[in-house]
Structure formats: C-alpha cells, structure tokens
Amino acid sequence: MAGMPLAILRTEGIVLFAASLAGYFVGLDEPWWIVPLLLFVPDVFMAGYASSSRVGAIVYNLGHAYPLPALLGAWALWADQPLAQGVALVWFAHIGMDRALGYGLKYETDFKDTHLGRIGH
C-alpha cells in the first residue's frame, strides 16, 4: 500500500478520530477524563499475540475493526446509555488514531503486516 490510496486511508483515520471525539465532547455530557482513560484500552486486543500470530491477528482485528464499536454504539443509542455511547465513540477514535498512524488491520503472517502496509517502512 502506497501513494494516494494510503494517503486517503490515513486521512480517513484522522477524520474518524476527529469526528468521534467531536461526537463525544459535543453530543454527550460525559466527563472528559473518560477519553484519555479509555483511548488505549482497545490495545488490550494485542494479547492474542501471546498465543500465536494467527490468534493475535484475529483477536487484534476484532478490537480494531468497526463492527464491535458500532454494535455497542447502536445498542447504547437504543438503550439510552450515554456512557456506553461514549465508550463506543472513544473506541472509534482509537481505531481512527491507529489508522492515521499507519497501524492497520493485521495479517496472520506478522504483527507488522497490515492492510496499510508493513509497519516501519
């Protein structure tokens, strides 16, 4: 991955990060300190790498793809749970931040092999 497609994908990450934080701070009346407290929690999904690269990629990708925070956010809206809405937004912000920095979804070959290219190159 290189050139304009990579630049677009990384820009999309910046947009997701900014929009998620804007949604949190403008749309919710939750404490600001929840954001730094939770921003790196999705990195716990890296624990799968303690087992193997295959398990690590599967578990990491579950925590760094859109479906789980989207399901949480949809449920939180339906159930009128502002704190859970905030968690979903911070989760999306984490994903956006990672994508903007070049940390994409992982391949089973190695932690550094991502859909955005190899980390460190």
pLDDT for 58: 94
Q: What average pLDDT score do residues 16-37 get? A: 96
Residue 121 has pLDDT above 70, yes or no: no
Residue 14 has pLDDT above 70, yes or no: yes
Q: How confident is residue 118, by pLDDT bands cut at 50, 70 and 90?
A: confident
Alpha helices (H) along the chain? 3-27, 34-38, 53-63, 67-78, 82-101
Q: How confident is residue 5, by pLDDT bands cut at 50, 70 and 90?
A: confident
Residue 1 has pLDDT above 90, yes or no: no
CA distances from 80 to 16, 34, 39, 88 (A): 23, 18, 22, 13
C-alpha angle 60/64/69, rounded to 5°?
125
Q: Which of 52-56, 62-66, 71-75 has the lowest mean pLDDT?
A: 52-56
- Calculate the average pLDDT of the chain: 93
Tokens linked to 19: 């929009």
Residue 89 has pLDDT above 80, yes or no: yes
Q: How confident is residue 76, by pLDDT bands cut at 50, 70 and 90?
A: very high
Q: What is the pTM of this model?
A: 0.92
